[in-house]
Structure 1
Amino acid sequence: MPHPSVAKAELHCHLEGAADPALVRRMGRKYGLDLSGLFAADGSYAWTDFTSFIKAYDGAAAVFRSFEDFSELAETYLAASAAEGVIYTEVFVSPDFARRAGISYADYLGGVSAGMDRAEANFGIVGRIIPLIERHHGPEAAVAAAQTAVANLLPRVCGFGMAGDERLFHPREFAPAFKIANEAGLPLTSHAGELCGPESVQDTIDSIPVKRIGHGVRSIEDPHLVRRLAEEGIVLECCPGSNIALGVFPDFASHPFVRLRDAGVKVTLNADDPPFFRTSMGREYAIARDAFGLGEDDLLAVTATAIEAAFCDEATKALLRSRAGLPRDFARD
C-alpha cells in the first residue's frame, strides 16, 4: 500500500457497487432472499463480463431496502475507506434505483446521509452525494430523475451526473435533464469514454456543461481531444482497477493514466465499484505507485487535484487541504 501519510480523495464511486459481500449476505438473510449465483466459491461477486457484472450489481443492490439499510451501507464503505487513509469521498446514488427498490427517494437519500454523518463523526472521513441519471432508461426518465434530485437537496448533495450504458442515446438528448440540475446550482459530471471511444467524451462536453468526466480514459485515442481536456481543465475520474477488470485495457502497462497526466489533463484515482473489481482506494493508489511509477509527491498531487475538483464547498476543501498537509497552492503548481 502507499505510504499512510498520503491522504486520498475519491470522486467516483457507485454506492450500491461499494457493498461488501459480507454485508450483502447479511442483508440477504435479514430479508430471507435467495442469493444463489451471486457469489463465487471464494465469497467474491461472481461475474465474467460487463453484462454479468451488471446482473451481479443489481442482485447485490436489491438487498438494500430501507433507510437503515442504506445508512449502514454508507457508513460501512466510508469506514473501510477511512482505514486506508481516505479523507473524502463522493458517492453516486440513483433516484431511479430508489423507485425500483420500492423505497422513497427521501428515505434512500436520508439513510445515505445519516450513514455519512456517523462515519464523519467516528472516523473523520467527509462524504458527499451525487444523484445521477441511469442513461439506459432514456431521456424522459432522466428529466424525472433530475426533478427528483433538485427537489431533495440535502446538505450532503453536491452535484449531479449520469452513468449507465454510454452506447445508448446521444448526450444531447440528456441536456434538458442536466439543465434542471445545473439551474439548481449542481455542478455536473458524466460517464463517457469507457466502453465507447473518444467521440463519446467529445459529444458529452459539446452537449453538457460538465466539469468532470467519469472515466474518460479513451480520450487518449484522440490527441486533439486530449489537448482540449487539458486546456479546458476538465477533470477525469479515472478508475484503473475497474478499467482492467472490465477489459477496457488489457493491462496496467497499457493504461493511459500517466500519458494523460503528462499531457496536462487533470486526472484522479477512484475505486468505482470496489468489491466487484477486487479493489479499494488503497489499491488504486498502490496501482499508481507500483504500475504507473508515481512517487509520494505525485500521489499527493493526485489527491490535490481531486480536492480541487470536488463538488463540495470551499470551506470543506480548505479543511481537506489542511488534513492532507497540502499548501494552499499545491494543486495549481
Structure 2
Amino acid sequence: MPDWCHTEPKAELHIHLEGSVFPQTLNRLAHKKGLPQVAEDFYDFRDFDGFNQCLMHVLGLLTTEEDYYRLALDFTDRQASQNIIYTEAFFMPYLHLVNGGHFEAIKQGLEAGFKEAEAGRQVRVRLLFNLPRGLDREAGFKTLELIEKYKWDRVLGIDLAGKEGKGDIAPRADIFAKARSMGLKTVAHAGEFSPASQMAETLRLLKPHRIGHGLSAINDEKVIETLIKTGVCLEMAPTSNLLLGAVGDISDHPLPQLLQKGVKVVLNTDDPAFFKTSLNRELDLVHNEMQVSEKDLKRLIRNGFEQAFGF
C-alpha cells in the first residue's frame, strides 16, 4: 500500500463494537471476573455459526459499566492509531439487555470511554444501533424506544444485521419507517449471503440510506442502476467476506467492478478483532490483491467522509 494511506485521515462506517474486542481485552475482562483466558487463535472460526459463537462469548464478558468503558476506550484508541478520525460504529443494545445488561450502565460506560479517548485529539465516534435478524420484531421497536427515551446524541440511527433469511425484510418495513419518522438514519446488511432479488427488496421496502456489504448487486444491473440513481452507498469489507465465505477468493470480490460502474463504495473492517484486520490492511488488500488504483484508493477514502451521517 502507498505510504500516504497510513497517514491519510480516514473515516470508517461499517464496524461492530462487539467485533472489535481483541483477545487481550477479552482476557483482561475475563481475569477480573475469574473466568478462563482465551488463546490468541480464539477467533479462528470457519463459518457464520462459529462467528456467532465468538460473538456470544464477547457478550458474556461485557456486563458492567466498567466493561463498556474499557470497550469504548480501547476501540477509540485503536481507531485513532490508524488516523481514523471519524467512525460510525454498530452496537446491538437489545442483545446486551437480553443478556442481563442495564442500558443506563451501558450508556454511561460507553460514553465515558468515548469522551476520554476523544478528548484533546481529532477523533470522533458515533453509533448506529443494530436490530439483530435473529430476534423478533419487538426487538426492533424496543430498540427505537431506547433511542427515544434516552436521547443520546451519539446515536445516529439503526441497522438491520445478522444472517440473512428469506422473508425477513417485509416484517421490518414499519420499524424502518418509524425510524425515519424519528429523524434517524438507516442502514441494512443485505446482499452478503442473499441474492440480488432480496437486496432489491431491501432497497424497496426498508429504503436504507446505506447498505452493509451488498455483494450480490453485481449480479443484477437493475439493482446497480437503483444504487446509482438513489445514491445508496455500499459498505464493503473484503476480509470479512472472504473469511465468512461470502466470496470464495479475494479475486472474486465485486468491489472493483462496482466502483468502476459508478456505485458509491466505502471500505471497512466489519469486525476487525474477529477477522484480524485493520482499515490500513483492507486498503493494502484492495490495492495489491484486487488491483484498485491509487486514484480509486483516494476515492474510497473520500467516500468514507462523504457518505458519513454525522461528520
Which TM-score tier does this pair reach, normalised by the shorter chain? Answer: over 0.9
How far apart are the structure 2 equivalents of 1:97 and 1:275? 19
Q: CA deviation at 1:107?
A: 2.2
Cα distance, 1:169 vs structure 2: 3.6
Q: How many angstroms apart in 2 are the aligned matches of 1:73 and 1:270?
A: 19
2:188 match: secondary structure:
strand
Q: Indicate the residue corresponding to 2:242 in structure 1.
A: 244
CA deviation vs aligned residue, 1:202-248 (integer Å, no higher than 9, x gap): 11111112110011111111122112111111000101110011111
Pair 21,171 (structure 1): closer, same or farther in 2 beyond 3 Å: same
User: What amino acid is aligned across from residue 115 of structure 1 in structure 2?
Assistant: G
Structure 1 residues 264, 191: closer, same or farther in 2, change over 3 A? same
CA shift, 1:122, in A, is: 4.9
In the other structure, the counterpart of 1:206 is 204
Distance 1:241 1:207, change over 3 A: same
| SS of equivalent to 1:137 | coil
Taking a change above 3 Å as real, the CA distance of residues 223 and 93 of structure 1, as seen in their structure-2 partners, is same
Aligned partners of 2:144, 2:113: CA distance in 1, in Å? 23
Q: Is residue 160 from structure 1 mapped to residue 162 from structure 2 by the alignment? A: no
Residues 245 and 311 of structure 1: CA distance in aligned 2, closer, same or farther (over 3 Å): same
- Secondary structure of the 2:156 match is coil
Q: Report matched runs for 1:1-333 at 5 Å.
A: 1-2=1-2, 3=4, 4-34=6-36, 39=39, 42-167=40-165, 169-312=167-310, 317=311
Q: Is the 8 A contact 2:59 2:96 kept in 1?
A: no
TM-score by length of 1: 0.88
C-alpha distance in 2, partners of 1:113/1:197? Answer: 38
Deviation, structure 1 residue 170: 2.7
Moved more, 259-268 or 6-15: 6-15
Alpha carbons of structure 1 residues 309 and 153: separation in structure 2 relative to 1, 3 Å: farther
Distance 1:189 1:247 in 2: 22
Aligned residues: 309
Counterpart amino acid of residue 270 in structure 1: N
TM-score under structure 2 normalisation?
A: 0.94
What's the CA shift for 1:140?
Answer: 2.4
Residue segments in structure 1 that go unaligned for 5+ positions in a row: 318-333
Percent identity over the alignment? 32
